Amino acid sequence: MLWLLNVYLVSKNQLQALSPLDGRYENNVKELSVYFSESALIKYRLKIEIEYLIALSREKGIKELPTLTTQEQIRLRKIYLNFNSSVAKNIKSIEKTTNHDVKAIEYYIQSKTRKNLHPWIHFALTSEDINNLSYSLMWQDGLKEIYLPTLELVNRKLKKLAKKYKNSPMLSLTHGQPATPTTFGKELAVFYKRLDRQIHQIKNHTLLGKFSGATGTWSAQMVSYPKINWIRFSEKFVKSIGLNPNFYTTQIEPHDSVAESYFKVILANSILTDLCRDMWSYVSRGILGQKKVSGEIGSSTMPHKINPIQFENAEGNMGISNSILIHLATKLPLSRMQRDLTDSTTLRNQGVAMGHSYLALKNILNGLDRITINNFQMKNELDGHWEVLAEAIQTVLRKTGKEDSYEKLKILTRGQKIDSLKVQSFIKDLKISDEDKRMLLSLTPSSYIGIANKLVDQI
C-alpha cells in the first residue's frame, strides 16, 4: 500500500510538468524557486521599484517629492517584504490587460500607495533599468544562498575523502595505459584544489547594473532635473542593492559581467564532470565499490548490479546546464543597435541552468557518500603491473650517466607483461652503487607513489 500513498502524494503538476526540474526533480531543486521563478522575478522587480521611489524621495534636488518618513518607508517596503502568491497572481492579472510585465508592477504599486506618489513610481526609467537589476540580483542571490554553499559542501567532502585515502596507492592510467602509481586521496586532492579556485572566483566576481534611462543617456532625468548629478545618484542606488554600476550602456546593460559569472559556473561544472567520469571509471575497474541501499534495484533484469547512477545523473545534468549557460554567455552580450528583445526571453532560462547544476551537485554528494574503497583490487592491479617501475629504474640510470638507460628499459618492458622477478633480476645486474641498487630493489608498484600523500597534507 506504500506505493499507493506515494502515488497520491505526487502532485498533478509534477506529473504534467513539461520540465523535469518542475516534475520529476521538483523536490530536489525547490529551493531555487525563491530566486528564479516567475514569482521571484515579480518580487525582485517590486523591490527595485520601491527602493527607487524611496531613493528619489531622499534626493534634495527633487522638491516636488518630500522625503518619505520612516513609517512611510516601512509601509512601502512591506509591499515586497510581505510578497506572496496572491500578490503575484494579482500582478499577473494586471499584466493580462497591459501586456507589459514591468508596467503591471507600476500599476500594482499605484494601487497600494497614495495618489501624490503615483507620478514618481518608475519615474524617468525604462523597463530594462528594472529588469537588468532584478535578473542580476536573482543570479547573484541564487549563487550565494543555494549554489555556492552546496558546491562548498561537495568540496569539503572531497577534502575529507582525500585525507582519508591519502595513503591508498592505486594504479594510474594515462592514455588508458598503466602509468606511475598515485594514491586515491591525491587524485581527489587535485579535484579539491581545482574546485577551490573556482569557488574563490565565483565568490569574488562582481555583477554590474545599469540605471540610466531609455538609451543609457539619462536624457529624461536631465530634462526634468538638470542640476541633479544623476550619475552619482545612479551609482549610489545600484551599489545600495548590491551591484556595481555600469555607466556606459545602451538601453540594456550589456550582460558582460553576468556572462563572465556563467563561464565560471561552466568551468566548475566541467571540473565536476571530470570527477564524475573518473569515479565512474574507478567503479568500473572495481577499485571502488558502492554501499548497498536496502530495497534499491540496479537493473530490472540483473539482480547483482549497483550502478554508479549518481555520477551518471550528475554528468548528464551538468551537460544540460553548460549547454544553456554557454548559450546565455555567448548570446546575451549581443544586441542589435541600442537594444533588441532577444535577451529578455533568454535571461528567463538562467534559473533552468542553475537548476540542473544544483541537481548535479546533490547527486555528486550522494555518490561520494556511497563510495567504498577496494584495497584488495587496488593492490591486485598494482601487483599486475611491475612495468610501471621502468620509469624509476631508467631515471636512476640516467643519474649515473648511462646514455642508453631509457632504451634498455624500453626493450625490457614496452608492450610486455613483466613481474617482480624480472624487474628485480634486471636491477641486480645493473652496475650502479649499492645504495641505489638497494633503493630500487625495495620499490614495489604500491610504494612508488612519490610524495602523493604529502601533497594531500597541504590542502
- Spatial neighbors of 83 by CB under 8 A, at least 6 apart, are 42, 43, 46
Structural domains in the chain (count): 3
Q: Which position has the grid cell 548497498?
A: 292
Same domain, yes or no: 106 and 179: no
205: its cell numbers: 566576481
- Determine the Cα–Cα distance for residues 92 and 41; give it in Å rounded to an integer: 12
Pairing of strands 371-373, 244-245: unpaired
In a domain, 404, yes or no: yes
Same domain, yes or no: 259 and 338: yes
Same domain, yes or no: 330 and 401: no
Same domain, yes or no: 190 and 321: yes
Task: Name the nearest CA neighbour of 318 among 348, 282, 281, 358.
Answer: 358
Residue 367 one-letter amino acid: G
> What does DSSP assign to residue 143?
I
Phi, psi of 394 (to 5 degrees): -70, -25
Domain interval for residue 64: 33-123
Q: What is the pLDDT of residue 388?
A: 95
Same domain, yes or no: 163 and 251: yes
Q: Please, what sign has the CA dihedral across residues 215, 217, 219, 225?
A: positive
- Determine the Cα–Cα distance for residues 359 and 284; give it in Å rounded to an integer: 23
Same domain, yes or no: 117 and 133: no
- Reported in sequence order, the residue ranges of 158-237 that DSSP labels E, i.e. its strands, are 169-174, 177-183, 208-209
Same domain, yes or no: 277 and 184: yes
Same domain, yes or no: 163 and 268: yes
109: its cell numbers: 504599486
Pairing of strands 244-245, 169-174: unpaired
CATH of the domain at 172: 1.20.200.10
Q: Please, what sign has the CA dihedral across residues 353, 359, 362, 364?
A: negative
Whole-model pTM? 0.92
248: left (phi over 0), alpha (psi -120 to 50) or beta: beta
CATH of the domain at 61: 1.10.275.10
Predicted confidence pLDDT, tens digits, the chain (459 residues): 444 445 444 555 778 888 999 999 999 999 999 999 999 999 999 999 999 999 999 999 999 998 999 999 999 999 999 999 999 999 999 999 999 999 999 999 999 999 999 999 999 999 999 999 999 999 999 999 999 999 999 999 999 999 999 999 999 999 999 999 999 999 999 999 999 999 999 999 999 999 999 999 999 999 999 999 999 999 999 999 999 999 999 999 999 999 999 999 999 999 999 999 999 999 999 999 987 776 666 655 667 667 888 999 999 999 999 999 999 999 999 999 999 999 999 999 999 999 999 999 999 999 999 999 999 999 999 999 999 999 999 999 998 888 888 888 888 888 888 899 999 999 998 989 999 999 999 999 999 999 999 999 999
Same domain, yes or no: 326 and 413: no
* Positions marked active-site: 175, 299
